[in-house]
Structure 1
Amino acid sequence: MIRLHHVPFSRSFRVLWLLEELGLDFEVVPYDIRDGSLRGAFQELSPAGRVPALEIGGQVLFESGAIHEYLCETYSEAGLGRDPGTPQRARYLEALHFAETMAGCIEQLNIQHVFLRDPTQASPTVIKLVTARLAGTLRAMERMLEGQEYLLADGFSAADTMMGFNLFAAPYYVHLDAYPGLMAYRGRISARPAYSRARARDGEQTFYTRDFYPVPASGP
């Protein structure tokens, strides 16, 4: 049994999507990010109390990047990883882990805009700086995609399931209209059958209450 511990519309969607791309049978165990269920016993699976956590082969893995590398090596016949010594290996690893640079910006903005119990504690200066940094990662991703359909020149890979998910969260903070390459890429990945199956199993997100969160005014 493969069991994915999952919060809808969170980093764990990356693993949910990859499992579908690999065609594996698995169970999804859902959690709510607000109800305290990621504390206590769950921390025996993921010490920081964060999803994803993946039970597989009698062990538990956490950290979505590590899970991606493990799954792609374990099910290498699917061709979603890039083996050492192959031409795209360096770019694959680069894209796989650049996903967390972008996701870190999204996480900080989530905290500032959405998860502070007292909204007055949010810092307009921090929001402005992190929003600019997020926009910078989007520009970098746009350049990575120039002249190709996916993040690697030789086709779709697990780097796309890691990085691609960010493009469904980033638009809450940065409009994607200025990035036509990213818009086209997002359309391609969302049209994949495995993506559609994963989204059907994802569940409804409950933390974004607006379509867009602008940078607040920092002064008069």
Structure 2
Amino acid sequence: MGLTLYHARRTRSLRPLWLMEEMGLKYELKSLAFKMGATGGDEFAQINPLQKVPALIDDGQTLLESIAIMEYLMGRYGPTDLCCTPQDPEYGPYLQWLQAGESHFGMYMSLFIGHRLLLPKEQRNPDIAKWAATNLQSACALLGDRLKHPDSILDRGFSAADISVGYVLFVIDMIGALEEVAPQTVVQYWNALKERPAWKRAISL
């Protein structure tokens, strides 16, 4: 049957979509309209009862987490230079920054955009938005200290770790707040990432 990715524009499903474009994989894309808590309607609820994207179907299996899907794709359809093996000297930093897209950034990104923009005005809490922004600033400062190259976290070059973190920078930039929370090294890093042809293809879909 091949790979099928359920995707909604500007959501975390961009991570595996971008990765598949970088890897040159063939896939079927099922585009859904994003709706908080109810993406895809009843039909998609049969695939993911949480009604969140991404969802990847491959060989009868369904995977739901964006970073897990990336690891699955690289493991099953590699080898690829987008990931590190345990023998690679940068294996540790690779794993750290691959997960950082959610662990360092993801929750704070969601709270920040939720309480600044997405939630109904009566549900927004400025104190939560400020707290989330402060934590995003700390995470971006950590990233800025790590960056030694204009377009990659690792010395070996662009990897899935850049896709993981890059998605968060995209969302923050999309609401016009990247320069508010990130140093210029991180802003320039994101500007370089979004020039990649695979990103341009993914964001257009």
Q: Please name the residue that 2:187 is paired with.
A: 183
Q: Please name the residue that 1:108 is paired with.
A: 111
Please tell me whether the aligned partners of residues 2 and 54 of structure 1 are also in contact (alpha carbons under 8 angstroms).
Answer: yes
Name the TM-score, length of structure 1 as normaliser.
Answer: 0.83
Please tell me whether the aligned partners of residues 105 and 139 of structure 2 are also in contact (alpha carbons under 8 angstroms).
Answer: yes
Please tell me whether the aligned partners of residues 98 and 163 of structure 1 are also in contact (alpha carbons under 8 angstroms).
Answer: yes
CA offsets per residue over residues 26-77 of structure 1, 9 Å max, x none? 1211122228344544233234321111112221111011111111111222
Q: Any runs of at least 4 consecutive aligned residues in structure 1 with deviations exceeding 6 A, and if so which?
A: none
Equivalent in 70, 83, 86 of residue 85 of structure 2: 83
Residue 198 (str. 1) matches residue 202 (str. 2): yes
Q: Report the Cα offset of residue 95 of structure 1.
A: 0.3
Q: Please name the residue that 1:12 is paired with.
A: 13
SS state at 1:60 partner:
strand
Q: Report the Cα offset of residue 167 of structure 1.
A: 1.2
Larger radius of gyration: 1
The correspondence of residues 124-135 of structure 1 with structure 2, limited to 5 A, is 124-135=126-137
Q: What are structure 1's unaligned runs of at least 5 residues?
A: 202-220
Aligned length: 200
Distance 1:109 1:159 in 2: 22
Distance 2:134 2:176 in 1: 10
Q: Please name the residue that 1:22 is paired with.
A: 23
- Structure 2 vs 1, CA of residues 199 and 147 (structure 1 numbering), >3 Å: closer, same or farther? closer
Q: CA RMSD in A?
A: 2.0
Please tell me whether the aligned partners of residues 80 and 158 of structure 1 are also in contact (alpha carbons under 8 angstroms).
Answer: yes
- Structure 2 vs 1, CA of residues 184 and 27 (structure 1 numbering), >3 Å: closer, same or farther? same
Q: Please name the residue that 2:100 is paired with.
A: 98
Q: What are structure 2's unaligned runs of at least 5 residues?
A: none
CA offsets per residue over residues 148-175 of structure 1, 9 Å max, x none? 6401111111111111111111232634
Q: Please name the residue that 2:44 is paired with.
A: 42
Q: Which amino acid aligns with 1:193?
A: P
